């Protein structure tokens, strides 16, 4: 078990934490940035140990861990609990909290209040907001107040209904041009990085070339400065259909299912627990305990 250093002063990066500025330097050196989602302390710890640069506590949690059909129901309180847990597990990676639907759409003020909650209550290093248009003013407000902010365009799950479902974006020249302009506007507003989700690879490549901030692709091709995948998709833990851009690196649902079935069988067969899983006590203490029970029984029988 490792011990954690004392909590640093607010706004001070914890010792060993990747500097936010390092992301742009990785882009400049053409070193790919590895980002992954996580939702609890063990996944935060494992992502850190595996060398991830950025951990996104995505509002995908609504689907992957809270069992909803979309990301929309995620609340600030839920996201704060999850982000705080991830932060307890992860030390080096930057921990980015995803601002859930309703936490930033209403006004710059509400966005700032919620972003500050993430920083103060969960120790998030940065936040992420979906969209462009009205989101640009939110990014300016958050960055102006000192909260590092990541943008997210293309397929933005919080507005999937408006986009006509979970499908690729920017597949016509006009839509691609709009995405390109949104990307430039988000960078000009102060975003430190940009997620490009389900965007044709040549469009993502042009956006990546045009920006000095890194692009992080998910279904946006290999030219992006980094990639992100959802923890449950990568590990085969999500009980639903995954988009074509997912690469599944393990089938943990099968591993977990078989382990739990063997446990249930062992319990039913009384083959668990074994001697080595149980505690003993000194013989003489056991004899005294049995004698006390005997006295107890006699007293009850006399009543």
Q: Where are the alpha helices (DSSP H) in the chain?
A: 21-28, 41-49, 61-64, 76-89, 108-117, 134-144, 173-189, 201-210, 231-234, 252-268, 283-302
Q: Give the Cα separation of 189 and 212 in Å (integer).
A: 13
Select the span of 53-61, 117-125, 132-140, 172-180 touching ligand KIV (CB under 6 A). Answer: 53-61
Site string for ligand KIV, 28-47 (x = CB under 6 A): ---------x----------
Q: Does 226 bind ligand KIV (CB under 6 A)?
A: no
Residue 218 makes contact with ligand KIV by CB under 6 A: yes
CB of 131 to ligand KIV, least distance (A): 12
Element housing 56 (H / E):
strand 54-57
Q: H or E element: which one contains 172?
A: none
The reply to whether 217 sits near ligand KIV by the rule CB under 6 A is no
CA nearest neighbour of 139 among 196, 197, 99:
99
Q: At what angle do helices 173-189 and 201-210 cross, to 10 degrees?
A: 30
Dihedral pair phi/psi, residue 196, rounded to 5°: -115, 110
How far apart, in Å, do the first and last CA atoms of the chain sit?
A: 54
Cα 290 to Cα 80: distance, rounded to the nearest angstrom: 51
Of 89-148, binders to ligand KIV (CB under 6 A) are 98
Q: Which is nearer to ligand KIV, 205 or 229 (CB)?
A: 229
The site for ligand KIV, by CB under 6 A, has a size of 13
Q: 54: Cβ–Cβ under 8 A, 6 or more apart, which residues? A: 18, 23, 33, 34, 35, 36, 93, 94, 96, 193, 216, 226, 228
Nearest residue (CB) to ligand KIV, 94 versus 174: 94
Q: Give 56 or 237: the residue with its C-beta nearer to ligand KIV.
A: 56
Rounded to a whole number of angstroms, the minimum distance from the CB of residue 233 to ligand KIV is 9
* Active site annotation includes 197: yes
Q: Which of 40, 48, 59, 125 binds ligand KIV (CB under 6 A)?
A: 59
Q: Is 60 in the site for ligand KIV (CB under 6 A)?
A: yes
Under 8 Å between Cβ of 190 and 179: no
Smaller CB distance to ligand KIV: residue 56 or 203? 56
x/- letters, 158..197, toward ligand KIV (CB under 6 A): -------------------------------------x-x
| Cβ-proximal residue to ligand KIV, closest one | 58
Cα of 286 vs its chain's centroid, Å: 50
14 or 81: CB nearest ligand KIV: 81
Per the listing, tokens 């990014």 go with: 139
Out of 197, 290, 294, 298, which one is annotated catalytic? 197
Q: Is 55 near ligand KIV (CB under 6 A)?
A: no
Q: Rounded to whole angstroms, how far apart are CA atoms 17 and 95? A: 10
Q: What gap in Å lies between CA 209 and CA 126, rounded to an integer?
A: 24
For ligand KIV, give the closer residue by CB, 161 or 302. 161
Determine the interface stretch with ligand KIV among 45-53, 57-65, 87-95, 163-171 (rule: CB under 6 A): 57-65
Active site residues: 197
Contacts with ligand KIV by CB under 6 A lie at 37, 56, 58-60, 71, 98, 152, 195, 197, 218, 228, 230
């Amino acid at each position: 078990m490792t011990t954690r250093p004392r909590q640093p002063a607010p706004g001070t990066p914890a010792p060993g934490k990747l500097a936010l500025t390092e992301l742009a330097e990785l882009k400049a050196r053409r070193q790919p940035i590895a980002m992954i989602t996580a939702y609890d302390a063990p996944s935060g710890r494992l992502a850190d140990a595996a060398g991830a640069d950025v951990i996104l506590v995505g509002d995908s949690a609504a689907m992957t861990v809270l069992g909803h059909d979309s990301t929309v129901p995620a609340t600030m309180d839920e996201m704060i609990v999850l982000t705080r847990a991830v932060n307890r597990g992860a030390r080096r990676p930057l921990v980015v909290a995803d601002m859930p639907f309703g936490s930033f759409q209403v006004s710059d003020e509400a966005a700032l209040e919620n972003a500050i909650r993430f920083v103060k209550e969960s120790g998030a290093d940065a936040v992420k907001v979906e969209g462009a248009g009205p989101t640009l003013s939110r990014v300016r407000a958050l960055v102006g107040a000192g909260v590092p902010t990541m943008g997210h365009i293309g397929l933005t799950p919080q507005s999937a209904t408006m986009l006509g479902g979970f499908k690729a974006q920017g597949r016509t020249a006009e839509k691609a041009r709009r995405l390109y302009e949104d990307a430039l506007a988000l960078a000009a507003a102060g975003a430190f990085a940009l997620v490009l989700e389900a965007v044709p690879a040549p469009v993502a490549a042009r956006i990546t070339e045009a920006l000095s901030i890194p692009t992080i692709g998910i279904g946006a091709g290999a030219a992006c400065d980094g990639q992100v995948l959802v923890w449950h998709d990568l590990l085969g833990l999500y009980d639903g259909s995954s988009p074509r851009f997912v690469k599944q690196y393990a089938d943990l649902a099968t591993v977990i299912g078989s382990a739990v079935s063997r446990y249930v069988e062992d319990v039913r067969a009384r083959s668990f627990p074994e001697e080595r899983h149980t505690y003993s006590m000194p013989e003489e203490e056991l004899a005294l305990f049995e004698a006390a029970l005997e006295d107890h029984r006699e007293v009850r029988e006399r009543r």
